[in-house]
Structure 1
Amino acid sequence: MIVRPLLPESLRGRKRVADRTVLNGIVWKFRTGTAWRDAPERYDPWATLHTRFRRWAPDGTFERMLETTQVGAATARRPPDRTSRCAPATCARPESCRPGGNAAPSPS
């Protein structure tokens, strides 16, 4: 996993919840725009998500993840697919790329 080495180590004695599950929960929270308390149970308790976010945000963990993935994408052999356009909780292809779509926009 590209992200695992970038995550801070636990300094507490208890076994912590899986970082991947927590990270997926944090991403879900911001993609949907809901409150922390409304996160689904599959991402573990909402308080764990919130606490981990509060620890990781100030120490630069998310910035390191972003920089690493950007460098990885820039050095990849295949350029990223730029034909899809994504917005929070949706992903749609431009009209000209969809089956049956027009190659050129129709005059209005």
Structure 2
Amino acid sequence: MTRAQLTDAEWVLIEPYLPIGEYGPYPERLRQQFEGVIWRFRTGGQWREMPKEFGAWSTVSNRFRQWRDAGVFEALMEGVIAEAAKRGEVDLSLVSVDSTTVRAHHDAAGMHLDSDTMAALEKAAEEA
């Protein structure tokens, strides 16, 4: 079987984050389409190779783009983390923080400072 098969418990957590628009997706196909997106990224297969059981590949691909553009996956990730925290299942030992820093010219972010302020900042950076 090629189906991604979310468990019912997983689906209960995911479903509220998937918007239902005026013209679709139809609620009864929502899980099928979401599982199609999971299949695509789990297998690394092309959209056109998607098994028919997930629906038309073009529909699933379009749904993925709509969800991506609407920020659904970011909201889902935050929701899953919040739910795990509520259950006491967050393991911060798995968190990695990269402390690499790269200096950029002060104009790199569009910041405009007068020359006296810039000189004071550069002097402070050299002393640090």
TM-score (norm 2): 0.55
Runs of 4+ in 1 over 4 A off after TM superposition: 13-17, 77-80
Percent of pairs with identical residues = 32
| 2:47 partner amino acid | W
Residue 58 of structure 1: CA displacement? 0.8
1:30 is aligned to 2:41 = yes
Aligned to 1:98: none
Matches within 5 A, 1:69-84: 69-77=80-88
Matches within 5 A, 1:1-108: 1-12=12-23, 15=26, 18-77=29-88
Runs of 5+ unmatched residues, structure 1: 83-108
The structure whose residues are more often helix, as a share, is 2
> Aligned equivalents of 1:24 and 1:61: distance in 2?
15
Give the secondary-structure state (helix, strand or coil) at the position aligned to 1:49. Answer: helix
Aligned residues: 81
Residue 69 of structure 1: CA displacement? 0.6
The structure whose residues are more often strand, as a share, is 1
Residue 77 of structure 1: CA displacement? 4.2
> Aligned equivalents of 2:19 and 2:79: distance in 1?
15
| 1:45 partner amino acid | A
Residue 4 of structure 1: CA displacement? 1.8
Give the secondary-structure state (helix, strand or coil) at the position aligned to 2:34. Answer: helix
| Larger CA Rg, structure 1 vs 2 | 2
**TM-aligned CA distance change 1:4 to 1:16, over 3 Å:** closer
Tell me if structure 1 keeps the 8 A contact 2:84–2:90: yes
